[in-house]
Structure 1
Amino acid sequence: MDLFRSVRAVANAGDGDGSGRIDWDAVGTAAKGATDPGGLDLSDAEREGYAADVRDARERLRSVGGLDFDVPETIEVQNRHHWIDANVATFRRVMRPIETEVSVAFPNATRVVNTGSMALVLSFLGSHVLGQYDPLLLAEGDDEAHGLYFVHPNIVAAAADLDVDYPRFRRWIAFHEVTHAAEFGAAPWLSEHLESRLEDGLETLASGGFDREAFHDLDVAMTAVEGYAELLMDRAFDAEYADLRAKLDARRRGGSPLTRLMRRLLGLGLKRRQYERGASFFETVADRRGVAAAAAVWDRPENLPTDEELDTPARWLARVDS
């Protein structure tokens, strides 16, 4: 780590004409300066292990879920700095509507604060994220490939911290991330649907308002995405995993006071709620009609459950079957 480099990058973000509310180059520099990159010296067996995990997850998910999809062309085993670089681009895309519209009284000072805040977020996440499926929401062109990332040093560290078998833990993470690729691959409309609600919400925020409906719709859709992923991974994973889930959940609830505060500020508790609520919905659907029947949610946007249906799956089944 190089904390001096990190602080200097944030401090210098206020130099110049202050164009743009965030200095994204400085965000990347500062986040990486505050984060140990971790090792990425993979053995041949480890590289083949990642490849086999993704390949096996794809085949199992196709079979169990009855889905027609393929994994992204871009599959990377990364260190923490690689992940930060990839997600600077992601955050930059998502924040663009707010950056270009919001006016502030002290642009240079605001730029320093915003740059430092984003660097802190990316440094924290870069040290904790295990894997990521990136659907490239709000990307400039349709020809950009979605990404599937595994943050190797975080996976190794988490397996050691949880005292679980590393290859088994790595495989479990791979299954989880490939389920997201399965969802977006089976529903070509899903990225556009999420983008439209995200854009509506951000544009209203940029104008000083709050589009409650847009963010509510986004929350419901992401609850379906996370819940279906939980169902499919649970049914498709080819080994016992109850201990992995219990230990990882305990780890997420624990940590230092600063870690717990960061999780609350970043809304990671909301994501856990989405997992649990969505998983409960799809477990009920699968128990009544089978796992393949749950895939009807990806046939068209209208098949997404409503907020009320998430708590009463029978209503969704009756509507989709009609």
Structure 2
Amino acid sequence: MIDWDLAVSLASRLAGEGPRVPRDRAVAAVAELRADADRSTGLVRDFTGLEAADHGAPVLVVDRPGWIQANADGFRRIIDPLADRITSAKPPSGLTRAVGSRITGAEVGGLLGFLAGKVLGQFDPFADPAGRLLLVAPNVVAVEDELGVDPTDFRLWVCLHEETHRVQFTAVPWMREHLFSEIENLSATVRPDAAIDETLKRLTETVRTVRRDGVGQGGLLDLLGSPEQKAVLDRVTGMMSLLEGHADVVMDGVGPQVIPSVRRIRASFDRRRQGVGTLDRVLRRLLGLDAKMAQYRDGAAFVRGVVDTVGMERFNAVWERPEHLPTKAELLDHGAWIRRVL
């Protein structure tokens, strides 16, 4: 259903290579990111109390095409089994398959091409056997120049956030499989015999809603989801908000000890997260990235609220089992989570 080669090729052309810098600066940036990722493991462990083995998942410093290929591989792992279910129930004609796969390939390529210029780093949980940490060197260099911040401080700050995600997925033994199971649950909510017709119907309704009211908080994915899918998405949102908020708390908590300019970096970066232009803001909203920013804010407020009330050691009960993950409602009321879990 998706021409993945076309998606990767188009995304790479759209994203470009990033800033042109002298070779010695590029080499130094890559080396520093690798070193900072290794350094961050112990810093995150000491701050959080989570025990993750050193080098439990590989660290890859990549360019934009490398990030695109990695995410296309991850998307493919999620989407292809669902696509097989749909096409086995209603096999498309040869022409439909050929044309449709290129259209969807172009759509995925456009999405990846836009994001490839924005992402600084990412933990990829889909890579076997235990995931991998990706750091996008051209984007890190571009943003540190854009913000006018100290490069050494900024690179370590970015690595602290992304390394926290690596620790979350490697120190918490059930986290990766739990995410996979929720993806399978989402796939199971799709009825193959009606998937295409229902998707077209909801897409039409979405376009009308966008024209009339603007896009909702969750972007197109939220508008297209059925009630069953939204129930799964709510659980995933709760989990991802916790992971993102926890990483933000860690990077800002560890930061003052090792990053002299952390306050200036945080203030400048938060302004950047709002989007830099009209087109950028529109695309962020359509893709649900506004909701992503809310995940950082709500998740961080939840983590700080619990830690301030009961301390980090008792907060770590959240990692004991999937049932301890906060619900979307509890993210906005940390006291409710404390009463339920602790």
Please classify the TM superposition score into its range, dividing by the shorter chain length: 0.7 to 0.9
What is the CA distance between 1:148 and its match in structure 2? Answer: 0.8
Aligned to 2:209: none
Aligned to 2:177: 192
1:64-121 Cα shifts (integer Å, max 9, x gaps): 1111013444211111111111111011112123322334673333222211101111
Take 2:164 and 2:120, find their aligned partners in 1: how far apart are those partners? 15
Take 1:51 and 1:168, find their aligned partners in 2: how far apart are those partners? 14
What is the CA distance between 1:255 and its match in structure 2? Answer: 2.1
- Indicate conservation of the 8 Å contact 1:175/1:233, yes or no: yes
- Indicate conservation of the 8 Å contact 1:98/1:206, yes or no: no
Take 1:246 and 1:47, find their aligned partners in 2: how far apart are those partners? 25
- Indicate conservation of the 8 Å contact 2:29/2:141, yes or no: no
2:297 corresponds to 1:276 = yes
- Aligned 1:55-204 pairs, distance under 5 A: 55-70=38-53, 71-102=55-86, 103=90, 106-136=96-126, 143-204=128-189
Counterpart secondary structure, 2:133? strand
Take 2:83 and 2:142, find their aligned partners in 1: how far apart are those partners? 36
Paired residue for 1:53, among 36, 40, 49?
Answer: 36
Take 1:307 and 1:262, find their aligned partners in 2: how far apart are those partners? 25
- Indicate conservation of the 8 Å contact 2:130/2:170, yes or no: no
Take 2:270 and 2:251, find their aligned partners in 1: how far apart are those partners? 16
Take 1:206 and 1:161, find their aligned partners in 2: how far apart are those partners? 46
Aligned to 2:281: 260
Take 1:33 and 1:51, find their aligned partners in 2: how far apart are those partners? 27
What is the CA distance between 1:47 and its match in structure 2? Answer: 4.2
195-204 or 79-88: bigger deviation: 195-204
Paired residue for 1:31, among 11, 15, 39?
Answer: 11
- Indicate conservation of the 8 Å contact 1:193/1:301, yes or no: yes
Aligned to 1:13: none
Letter in 2 for 1:94: I
- Indicate conservation of the 8 Å contact 1:97/1:206, yes or no: no
What is the CA distance between 1:315 and its match in structure 2? Answer: 2.6
Paired residue for 2:269, among 248, 269, 289?
Answer: 248
Take 1:175 and 1:301, find their aligned partners in 2: how far apart are those partners? 24
Take 2:175 and 2:62, find their aligned partners in 1: how far apart are those partners? 26
Take 1:255 and 1:311, find their aligned partners in 2: how far apart are those partners? 28
Counterpart secondary structure, 2:273? helix
- Indicate conservation of the 8 Å contact 2:34/2:59, yes or no: no
52-61 or 206-215: bigger deviation: 206-215
Take 1:223 and 1:177, find their aligned partners in 2: how far apart are those partners? 14
Cα gap change, 1:126 to 1:206, in 2 (>3 Å) = farther
Letter in 2 for 1:277: D
- Aligned 1:286-305 pairs, distance under 5 A: 286-305=307-326
What is the CA distance between 1:172 and its match in structure 2? Answer: 0.7
Letter in 1 for 2:67: W
Letter in 2 for 1:33: R
What is the CA distance between 1:61 and its match in structure 2? Answer: 1.0
Take 1:219 and 1:307, find their aligned partners in 2: how far apart are those partners? 7
2:335 corresponds to 1:314 = yes
Take 2:120 and 2:321, find their aligned partners in 1: how far apart are those partners? 30
Take 1:318 and 1:115, find their aligned partners in 2: how far apart are those partners? 47
Take 1:279 and 1:184, find their aligned partners in 2: how far apart are those partners? 18
Paired residue for 1:230, among 248, 252, 256?
Answer: 248
- Indicate conservation of the 8 Å contact 2:60/2:133, yes or no: yes
What is the CA distance between 1:60 and its match in structure 2? Answer: 1.1
Counterpart secondary structure, 2:51? coil
Letter in 1 for 2:75: F
Cα gap change, 1:115 to 1:81, in 2 (>3 Å) = same
What is the CA distance between 1:206 and its match in structure 2? Answer: 5.4
Counterpart secondary structure, 2:149? coil
Letter in 2 for 1:232: V
- Indicate conservation of the 8 Å contact 1:186/1:298, yes or no: no
Counterpart secondary structure, 1:205? coil
What is the CA distance between 1:145 and its match in structure 2? Answer: 3.8
TM-score by length of 1: 0.85
- Indicate conservation of the 8 Å contact 2:245/2:300, yes or no: yes
Cα gap change, 1:51 to 1:112, in 2 (>3 Å) = closer
Take 1:26 and 1:229, find their aligned partners in 2: how far apart are those partners? 34
- Indicate conservation of the 8 Å contact 1:227/1:276, yes or no: yes
Gaps of 5+ in 2: 199-225
- Indicate conservation of the 8 Å contact 1:198/1:215, yes or no: no
Take 2:279 and 2:98, find their aligned partners in 1: how far apart are those partners? 28
Query: RMSD of aligned C-alpha atoms?
Result: 2.1
Take 2:296 and 2:174, find their aligned partners in 1: how far apart are those partners? 22
Cα gap change, 1:206 to 1:243, in 2 (>3 Å) = farther
Counterpart secondary structure, 2:15? coil
- Indicate conservation of the 8 Å contact 1:28/1:85, yes or no: yes
